[in-house]
Amino acid sequence: MNVLIFGSGQLARMMYLAGCPLGIEVSAVDVNTHKVVNPVNKEPYNIGLEEAIEQADAISVEFEHVPEALLEKAELSGKLMPGIGAILTGADRVREKHLLQRLDIANCPHRVIDNVEQLDGAVDELGDQLIVKASRDGYDGYGQWRLHKSDDLPDLKQQLLALDLRKVPLVVEKMLHFDREVSLVGVRNSKGHFRFYDLAENLHHQGQLHVSLAPAPGVTEALTQQAREIFKTLADELNYTGVLAVEFFQLGDRLLVNEIAPRVHNSGHWTMQSADTCQFENHLRAICDLPLGDTSIKTVCAMVNIIGYASFARDMLTIRGCHLHWYGKTVRDKRKMGHFNLVGQTYPELATSMLALADYVPESHFPHLANKARTLS
Ligand code: ATP
Ligand code: MG
Ligand code: MG
């Protein structure tokens, strides 16, 4: 079978690798050049985009910010999964918030503004600790501005004046003091059947995911059910086929949806080592209409992103349960270069490996790793 993925980054690469044993051939589309490439070495294939779309058994995306014209082309083939509606909802925070409101799903108090002066009203309503998010093209915390006190409002307005808010409005959110962040990665097939992975706890630094811990410690049955109900409501409404990720803020025993990602997700990378069937394989299974794989967890896992630097010591691989996934990209500040999956039979065993890994890297790179490990040992 042939699968075509729009986007040619590490997620397409990991789908390619997961497809190999199944005999599924994954090609990627570089969304800037429209070239069809090998997702591992990025070498162009000798095939045009139209032909690749025609030959594909299924088409999907590795990120939501694919130009709409390309998505429409794919949608017209009838093979795009999830469909264009789901992808555009994940790509546009205004559409996303409307969906959450319409389905009565708890989310962060917010306001949509298309004029900088409307920020005053937002402060009156939501307070002066805010996160302002561009409605489109944001990821890893890019396209976000934080307001910590009303004194800083004039400065913030000045910064936002450069944007065309009529084209790309802003979503202004109340800055929440949540207990922690968790995410649910799951898969729905075209018949509406679901499989869910365990909830992961996600640790962010400067708006970017650094560590995911699975299963999230201390999750109650009720919390899991709450997350799954929300996931099902969203996925059914979007008539979703494939892997979907829902990011939550946890406040006590309540979950608020932060955002959804209509694709395989960084907080699901732990499934490569620790789940019976990883998220990449399950995405391929769903969109190729194959039976879904078992999502049960076999070992506890800490996924640790390698961000903005290219060196790792060979010795890191001697750490017990340490698996490296290297993406082969050129190094750039804040760029995700690869990740480690650390696995253990128990949290204390995992904590030992996390502390060993933390010894190799400056605290500034993995600010959470050692602290989190200490809570597990
Ligand atoms: P991603 O790479 O996950 O797509 P993104 O750029 O779309 O990220 P968000 O997920 O909206 O951005 O925000 C990034 C992080 O910033 C969140 O995971 C959370 O840590 C923090 N954050 C976002 N919104 C809020 C909020 N309303 N209150 C407190 N923290 C927030
Ligand atoms: Mg996002
Ligand atoms: Mg996010």
Domains assigned to the chain: 2-80 (3.40.50.20), 109-174 (3.30.1490.20), 180-376 (3.30.470.20)
Is this prediction's pTM over 0.90?
yes
176 within ligand 1 shell (Cβ under 6 A): yes
Q: Is the CB of 258 under 6 A from ligand 1?
A: yes
Q: How many CA atoms lie within 13 A of 204 on its CB side?
A: 17
Is the CB of 65 inside a 6 Å radius of any atom of ligand 1?
A: no
Mutate to test the pocket of ligand 1, among 61, 93, 131 (most ligand atoms within 8 A of CB): 131
Q: What is the pLDDT along the chain (377 residues), one digit of tens a residue?
A: 999 999 999 999 999 999 999 999 999 999 999 999 999 999 999 999 999 999 999 999 999 999 999 999 999 999 999 999 999 999 999 999 999 999 999 999 999 999 999 999 999 999 999 999 999 998 888 899 999 999 999 999 999 999 999 999 999 999 999 999 999 999 999 999 999 999 999 999 888 999 999 999 999 999 999 999 999 999 999 999 999 999 999 999 999 999 999 999 999 999 999 999 999 999 999 999 999 999 999 999 999 999 987 777 788 999 999 999 999 999 998 899 999 999 999 999 999 999 999 988 777 767 789 999 999 98
Give the rounded distance of the alpha carbon of 185 from its chain centre: 9
CA distances for 54 relative to 4, 51, 65, 80, 214, angstroms: 10, 5, 22, 12, 39
Q: Give me the interface pTM, i.e. the ipTM.
A: 0.98
- Got the DSSP string for 232-243? HHHHHHTT--EE
**136 Cβ inside 6 Å of ligand 1:** no
Give the contacts of 46 (CB within 8 A, at least 6 positions apart). Answer: none
Q: Looking at beta carbons, which pairs linking 196-203 to residues 24 or more positions away fall under 8 Å? A: 196/228, 196/231, 196/295, 197/268, 197/271, 197/275, 197/279, 197/295, 197/297, 198/297, 199/223, 199/224, 199/227, 200/267, 200/268, 200/270, 200/303, 202/247, 202/267, 203/368, 203/372
Of the listed ligands, the closest to the CA of 126 is 1
Give the position, in ligand 1's atom list, of the atom nearest the Cα of 177. Answer: 29
Residue 156, annotated as binding a ligand: no
Please check whether residue 122 is in contact with residue 101, taking contact to mean a CB–CB distance below 8 angstroms: no
- Helices (runs of H) and strands (runs of E) counted in the chain: 12, 17
Question: For the chain, where are the alpha helices, taking DSSP H only?
Answer: 10-19, 49-55, 68-76, 84-91, 93-102, 119-126, 153-160, 221-237, 271-274, 279-287, 347-358, 369-376
HSE value, Cβ hemisphere, 13 Å, CA-based, for 337: 13
Ligand 1 contact via 175 beta carbon (within 6 Å): yes
Ligand 1 closest atom vs CA 175: 28
Q: Report the alpha-carbon distance of residue 292 to residue 274 in Å, rounded.
A: 17
Best mutation site among 62, 94, 128, 144 for ligand 1 pocket (most ligand atoms within 8 Å of CB)? 144
Q: Are the CB atoms for 300 and 215 separated by under 8 Å?
A: yes
